[in-house]
Amino acid sequence: MNEISEIKIDNKPPQERYYTYAYLDEQTKRMIRRAILKALSIPGYQVPFGSREMPLPYGWGTGGIQLTAAIIGPNDVYKCIDQGADDTTNAVSIRRFFATVADVATTEDTAKATIIQSRHRIPERPLQSGQIMVLQVPQPEPLRSLEPRETETRAMHAYEEYGLQYVSLYENISAYGRIAATAGYPVMIDERYLMSPSPIPKFDNPKLDMSPAILLFGAGREKRIYAVPPYTKVRSLDFEDYPFETQTWDEVCALCGSDTSYLDEVVLDDQGNHMFVCSDSHFCAERRENGHLGPLAGHSLAQKSDDSNANRVLQEGIAK
């Protein structure tokens, strides 16, 4: 599971299809790279770019894929996660896509990857210098739900008028008694630009702060790229009397026993049984390999989900 697997579906040597290496043509990649450089120079600022049609629908990661295609090279090691897991449909498809079009090695190991593309999570294992995190963004504008006019939100960013964002937090407290927003929790980048970290849970917000890795955000439908360069201050918004807090769980991971990771609830049957497991599948697997055991260790869901295993689980289900 931790080994770097080399999948080469197209047998043509890389130089023969160099022009459209990694799916996009050279001009498009240059345009995207320019946007990335601008985004890195102005941390948190949304740079417009000419988003291309990609071979998958908007909302499935077109922005992230274009970013990855623009920065990937044959020596990169690529990891793709969806909801924290390496083996979900979308993650598998996008990983295979780049293995095919860019001849890169792929991995599930966070430490070995040079480019990590993700939708909802930042891996539990701290990112390192030299790594690039690519995030797929549905709505890049944090103020959009409060202010529908693009001309107005642009002026607000330009003049640093961010009082309005606090209205959403105020609403949260008056309705729930605490800041209940969980994902896409707004952050200030280097005390200048307000940014939506997009669909990552606020649990991951502290990982953005002073991260040694480059963080790139791409919104394909909205045609915006923004970035957080390494070692940049990222502050989650809050009130003086309601400070920022991340989610916590009373349970530990049922499989690996971790009490520090982000947990997903998994429903086990119709009788109300459920368990909490790490959302970061590689983090969980690595812990189990190192001998950490949770209360439900050895559960059938802990097995590696290859086809034979899926069949076995299915058979067990039928037998019951």
Q: Which is nearer to another protein, 163 or 291 (CB)?
A: 163
In the window 241-280, what residues touch another protein (CB under 8 A)? 241-242
- Single-letter amino acid code for the residue at 69: A
Q: Where are the alpha helices (DSSP H) in the chain?
A: 26-41, 62-71, 89-102, 150-158, 163-176, 205-208, 281-289, 307-319
One of 61, 184, 220, 253 is an active-site residue; which one?
253
The distance of closest approach from Cβ of residue 190 to another protein in the complex, given in angstroms and rounded to an integer, is 15
Are 87 and 305 spatial neighbours (Cβ–Cβ below 8 Å)? yes
The distance of closest approach from Cβ of residue 295 to another protein in the complex, given in angstroms and rounded to an integer, is 39
Compute how many other C-beta atoms are within 10 angstroms of the C-beta atom of residue 197: 26
In the window 277-306, what residues touch another protein (CB under 8 A)? none
Q: If binding is defined by CB under 8 A, does position 173 make contact with another protein?
A: yes
Sign of CA dihedral 291, 108, 58, 195: positive
Cα angle 185, 241, 238 (rounded to 5 degrees) comes to 20
Q: If binding is defined by CB under 8 A, does position 18 make contact with another protein?
A: no
Distance CA 212, CA 126 (A): 9
The distance of closest approach from Cβ of residue 305 to another protein in the complex, given in angstroms and rounded to an integer, is 42
Q: If binding is defined by CB under 8 A, does position 175 make contact with another protein?
A: yes
Structure tokens at 234: 């990222």
> Using the rule CB under 8 A, which residue among 5, 6, 17, 167 binds another protein?
167
One of 63, 184, 220, 278 is an active-site residue; which one?
278
The distance of closest approach from Cβ of residue 189 to another protein in the complex, given in angstroms and rounded to an integer, is 16
The distance of closest approach from Cβ of residue 150 to another protein in the complex, given in angstroms and rounded to an integer, is 17
Are 49 and 63 spatial neighbours (Cβ–Cβ below 8 Å)? no
**Does 284 participate in catalysis according to the annotation?**
yes
Compute how many other C-beta atoms are within 10 angstroms of the C-beta atom of residue 122: 28
In the window 128-157, what residues touch another protein (CB under 8 A)? 145-146, 155
Q: Which stretch binds another protein (CB under 8 A): 15-23, 109-117, 123-131, 172-180?
A: 172-180
Active site residues: 44, 253, 256, 278, 284
